[in-house]
Amino acid sequence: MRTNWEEPIPVQVNKLPEFPVEVLPDWIQSFVTEISDSLNVKTDIVSSVVLGALATCLTRKYTFYYPKSNWKLDLNLYTLSLAPPGTKKDAVHQYAFDPLYKQQIYKLNYNDEQENKLKVDMELKISQYEKLIKSSKDDAKEQATELLDEVKKLERKLNEEKFLISGDITNEKTIEMMQYNGETLTIATPEASELVDHFFGRYTKSGGSLDFFLKAWSGSYYSKSRLTRSDIIVHNPLITLNLLTQPTEVFRFNKTAHRGLLQRFLVVYPDKYPLKDFQLSTIEQRVVETYNENIEKLFRLNPSDRNKFIGVEESATDAFENFYMKVTTESYKDVSKLTEEWLSKATSNLIRVVCLLKASERENLDSGKQVVLSCDDINKMEVLFHYYYGHFKNVNDMIQCNKESGESGLSFFFRRLLELNESLGSRGEIPGAKINNHIKKFNSNERLIMYELLEEHNLIKFVRKGSSITVFLNPKLKKMSLNEALGYIKDNKQYFR
């Protein structure tokens, strides 16, 4: 192709959006930025872990409800933060969940102190129950039923275990524990590799319990029949999963992508913390103390039945429905199957996040009053959608394009173009049909986006003739080695290094 070619310009790829801390209530924003600055950790990781703490506090206390479509959503949340070794995942987790661990220790110690009294009460009620079922009185059956319910409540109280698990736990133990915790549990761990093993059944002959974790995202009925022990039944299980793990673990989730577990997560994989921002500083204790105090308030919060539902202000209903349709429309575009399925659950996840943030604002901390979403809150959903969608598209790119090398999609595509050109005799002219046959990882829309980006940076020109496309490489690239030419794709991520 005879044309005046300008100098190639490097392409910056994988510049991911940073967490929009401005959507957070002021006390959470202060905590996130303080921990980020002091530990030299991206705000993405800190924010993701804090959302898990909020979900631990507020699940079952509030429920989102949109009466027009009778849409109810619990506020449990699945979040997955991908971070390589040395990114202080443990420290972030400890700061965010410390007030909840203290609440758990207090609760378990209190239950131990009450154990004898509970046992005496239960034995007394069992004795009364046994007498009633033998009685011939008219109301004996009704009284026996009421007593049996009381016995079951006392039994659950006696067997009450941790509401917060940090680290490794088998699937069966998870399910058993939920029966004694109001069918609610949080699993939050800074090193989730072992937990992921249990998800996918590495240690069991029967495989993992993905079905349970799929249902516990939405609170759907779950039962498990067992040969040697009594069956397990949970009617409305709600789990919060707050996981931090190595980036390569995401490929294990992808092996069961057809089941839909990964699609239930809000996934973040932030860029490295900028070297220019590194500093050694002391964490401002007052910020941490305020965070701890407010998390404890949320944990103890007990809104009345009348105020348990979080709705949408009448003035914000159009904005809410427009947002819903925007995300739905995005899922109908030419996106990968994995992305389409993630988008189908994104609105539910973002509603949960914004409800958690709204209920955590200072004026709602200990009032238990009615909470409603305003137009400003719907705008936050929009901002958060662009943030999480950007990160999920990047993860999808990792999974779909190049599992082994960790290249970005654009880097992979450009490398294949250069290799294809060499196989065709290095003429610098590549028919679109050849590209379609030899680079099959991308759909037509994805290829077009990459053509346009490469052309904007003077690396190629592409010419349409009818429905066909021909790609021409900048002649300056022919004088370079493959590695030199690939150097024009500056990948900020370098996934696994």
Q: Go through 228-250 and write b for each residue having 16 or more CB atoms within 10 A of its CB, e for each that does not.
A: eeeebebebbbbbbbbbbbbebb
Closest alpha carbon to 161 in 184, 193, 144: 184
CA angle 210, 214, 220 (to 5 degrees): 125
Q: 282 vs 36, 38, 86, 287, CA distance in Å?
A: 12, 6, 19, 12
pLDDT at 148 over 90: no
Task: Give per-residue pLDDT as tens, 281-317.
Answer: 899 999 999 999 999 999 998 887 778 999 999 999 9
Q: 217 vs 3, 241, 270, CA distance in Å?
A: 57, 9, 24
Q: How far is CA 151 from the centre of its chain?
A: 38
* Average pLDDT over all residues of the chain: 86
Distance in angstroms (rounded) separating the CA atoms of residues 346 and 343: 5
Q: Which token pair is 391?
A: 């990160």
| Predicted pLDDT of residue 358 | 97
| Nearby residues of 101 by Cβ (< 8 Å), 6 or more positions away | 164, 166
| Predicted pLDDT of residue 206 | 52
Task: Give per-residue pLDDT as tens, 347-393.
Answer: 999 999 999 999 999 888 766 678 999 999 999 999 999 999 999 98
Domains of the chain are 12-84+246-401 (no CATH), 405-491 (1.10.10.10)
Reduced to 3 states (helix: H, G, I; strand: E, B; else coil), residue 286 is helix
Exposed/middle/buried for 481, CB within 10 Å: 0-12, 13-18, 19+? exposed
Distance in angstroms (rounded) separating the CA atoms of residues 31 and 44: 13
pLDDT band with cut points at 50, 70 and 90 for residue 497? very low
Q: 348 vs 66, 167, 236, 266, 281, CA distance in Å?
A: 12, 27, 17, 11, 38
Task: Give per-residue pLDDT as tens, 168-186.
Answer: 777 777 887 887 788 999 9
Task: Give per-residue pLDDT as tens, 77-107.
Answer: 999 999 988 899 999 999 999 999 998 888 7
Amino acid at 391: H
| Predicted pLDDT of residue 491 | 65
Q: 65 vs 236, 312, 393, CA distance in Å?
A: 17, 8, 29
Distance in angstroms (rounded) separating the CA atoms of residues 57 and 62: 10
| Predicted pLDDT of residue 104 | 87
Helix axes 89-134, 26-39, angle to 10 degrees: 130
Task: Give per-residue pLDDT as tens, 13-64.
Answer: 767 899 999 999 999 999 999 999 999 999 999 999 999 999 999 999 999 9
| Predicted pLDDT of residue 404 | 42
- DSSP conformation class of 59: B
- Residue bearing the bigger pLDDT, 251 or 28: 28
Q: What average pLDDT score do residues 257-274 get?
A: 91
| Predicted pLDDT of residue 258 | 83
Q: What percent of the chain has pLDDT over 90?
A: 49
Task: Give per-residue pLDDT as tens, 186-243.
Answer: 999 999 888 888 777 665 555 557 889 999 999 999 987 766 667 778 899 999 999 9
Task: Report whether 23 contacts 380 (CB < 8 A).
Answer: yes
Q: pTM of the prediction?
A: 0.77
| Predicted pLDDT of residue 316 | 98
Task: Give per-residue pLDDT as tens, 326-345.
Answer: 999 999 998 889 999 999 99
Q: Which token pair is 179?
A: 């029966």
pLDDT at 465 over 70: yes
Task: Report whether 475 contacts 438 (CB < 8 A).
Answer: no
pLDDT band with cut points at 50, 70 and 90 for residue 440? confident
pLDDT at 405 over 50: no
